[in-house]
Every structure is written in C-alpha cells, then in structure tokens.
Structure 1
Amino acid sequence: MLTFRSGDDAIQGGVDITISLTPTQSAAIGPEASSLADWFDTALWTLAALRSEGHEPTADQLYTTLNDIEARLLPRLEGIRDAAVRRHKELGGSVGDLGLALDMPRSTAQSRREALEKRGPSNWEKWATGTTGN
C-alpha cells in the first residue's frame, strides 16, 4: 500500500511517501527492503535537486546517485521486469497484453519475450524470484 502525507501533515512540510508491506511481503523481500527504499529515495532526491534552481547536487552527491541507480537499482528492476514478463507468459498472458503493458508494439513485445525465453533467467531475474542471490 502506498500513502502520501503533504503540507502541514508531512514531516518537513513537503510530502511523505510511505510504502507499507504486509508481514508476508516484508519477509519475502527480507533485509534488502531498506536498501531498495534508500536507492529509490536517492533517485527522488536527485530528481528534485536537478529541477530546483539553487539546489544543484554536488559531484559527490551525483556519484552516489549514479552508483545507487546504475549499479544497484537498475539491475534489480530489470530482473524484476524480466521475471514478471516470464511469469506473465506462464500465467497465460498474451503477447498483445504484454505489448500494452510495456507500451510497445506487439511485435516488439513478442521479440523481447522470445529473447528472454532463449537465454534463460539472468542472475538478477533469479535474485528477483528468490531462487539465487547476487
């Protein structure tokens, strides 16, 4: 569940974003939940800094941003996406629906799904499904 508090109700007067997980969801993700939340926070902080005049991020802050996003978050998101595409097919999802979900032509979605099937699960896809870790 995702909730927002804004204005006077938010801790700093802007917006508080809360992601609530059930005990089962929390156990499935494990201790990595805090790292994932930290990396998402870095992405949102940087987006705000890049859009705010007079609040330009420093080179050191951008180093952290780039590391968090490129080396930490993106590989995991790609693994989650690939696992979802594979599972979508296993559950009988059509290529047309996959194309709509991925916002791409049906033919591109079919090519992506076929390429995914040919290569088998990546280490990050296995991480996403909990069958092995990275």
Structure 2
Amino acid sequence: MDPIHVTAGSTARMGGVDVTISLTPAQAAALGADAAVMADWLHSAFYAMALLRTGRDSTGEPYVAGPADWYTPITDLDHRLIPRLEGVRDAVVSSHAHSGGTVQDLALAMDVKRSTAQYRREAILRGKDRPTAWERWAVGGGPENKGQVDNTDPQD
C-alpha cells in the first residue's frame, strides 16, 4: 500500500487537494508529535508557494502580501523545517555510509558527481561538531521520545 494518498477536487476537504501521509503504528510512535508539527511547517511551504504563484489568498481573492504575511512561512521554513530536514538527510547519509553504501551509490542518489558526493559524505562523517544537534534529533527524537524509540524493526 502506498503511504501517500492525494485526493483532489470536490472530495478534498477544502475542494482543492488533500495530501495524506500514512504511518504505521511503530513509525507514528517513533515520531510522536514531530510528525504533526513537521506537517504543519510543510503546509506553510505549500501556502507560501501558492501565494507566490497566484497572488491570491486562501479564498481565491487577489491579494498583495506584505511583510507580515511572510513571517510565518519564513520562520517555519528557515528556523524549523529546513534544519530538521538537513539533520534527517545528514543522518541518512551517515547511515548509508555505515551500512556499506558506496560513494558512487551516494552520488547516484544525490544526482551529483562522485567527487561532490564524496566531499559531502566526508563533511558529514568527519566534520566538526558531528553529529549535529539535528542529526541527533533525527535519530533519537526530542525529549518526549527519549527511551521510547524502537529501532529494532527495519520494516517500519
């Protein structure tokens, strides 16, 4: 079963599109509240993209956004979502290397030259202050998950 479902048109809650991401019980338990807050921040990205592309508000009316309209998308993306996504990416690249993944495999996955992939991997594996706080968060979660994450079932 596909964990992502898209419903568009009149059956969508607001008549446009619903994007549903489903998690198993074990995945939901491992992520805790992080799943909902990250979804909220991703919604800010979608909202900002739609406003940038259309110049219309959520009711469809023409709208000229001012500085205050950009505060929430900026903080949600720059301060909240992007650092966490970078932490997840870096933890995944580190796990890829530790599980025997090659630099060539990484280059293919990153869609970059082998030398670029090698540079990025080395920066993650041997960089100063590694793992970062967000890499540690990606692996272990926040304070509410400490001691509750079960990494024993790779199927989840």
Counterpart for residue 102 of structure 1: 110
- Cα shift readout 1:47-86 (whole Å, capped 9, x = no counterpart): 0110003244332220111000000001100000000000
Counterpart for residue 67 of structure 1: 75
Q: What is the SS of the residue equivalent to 2:5?
A: strand
- Cα shift readout 1:10-59 (whole Å, capped 9, x = no counterpart): 11211111111111001101112111110000001110110003244332
* Cα offset, 1:92, TM superposition: 1.2
**CA distance in 2 between partners of 1:105 and 1:41 (Å):** 32
Unaligned residue ranges in structure 1 (runs of 5+): none
**CA distance in 2 between partners of 1:102 and 1:51 (Å):** 27
**CA distance in 2 between partners of 1:129 and 1:56 (Å):** 41
Q: What is the SS of the residue equivalent to 1:21?
A: coil
Counterpart for residue 59 of structure 2: none
Contact 2:31 2:141 in 1 (8 A): no
Q: How many aligned positions are there?
A: 133
Contact 1:79 1:124 in 2 (8 A): yes
Q: What fraction of aligned residue pairs are identical, expressed as a percent? A: 47
Q: Which AA in structure 2 matches 1:20?
A: S
Q: What is the SS of the residue equivalent to 1:110?
A: helix
Unaligned residue ranges in structure 2 (runs of 5+): 56-61, 144-156
Counterpart for residue 101 of structure 2: 93
Counterpart for residue 77 of structure 1: 85
- Cα shift readout 1:74-115 (whole Å, capped 9, x = no counterpart): 110000000000001111111111011111110010011112
Contact 1:86 1:117 in 2 (8 A): yes
Name the structure with the higher helix share. Answer: 1
What is the TM-score normalised by the length of structure 1?
0.93
Residues 131 and 71 (structure 1 numbering): CA distance in 2 closer, same or farther, change over 3 Å? Answer: closer
Higher relative contact order (CA 8 A, sep 6+): 2
What is the TM-score normalised by the length of structure 2?
0.80
**CA distance in 2 between partners of 1:128 and 1:48 (Å):** 29
CA RMSD of aligned residues (A): 1.4
Counterpart for residue 11 of structure 2: 9
**CA distance in 1 between partners of 2:105 and 2:120 (Å):** 13
Residues 84 and 71 (structure 1 numbering): CA distance in 2 closer, same or farther, change over 3 Å? Answer: same
**CA distance in 2 between partners of 1:69 and 1:89 (Å):** 28
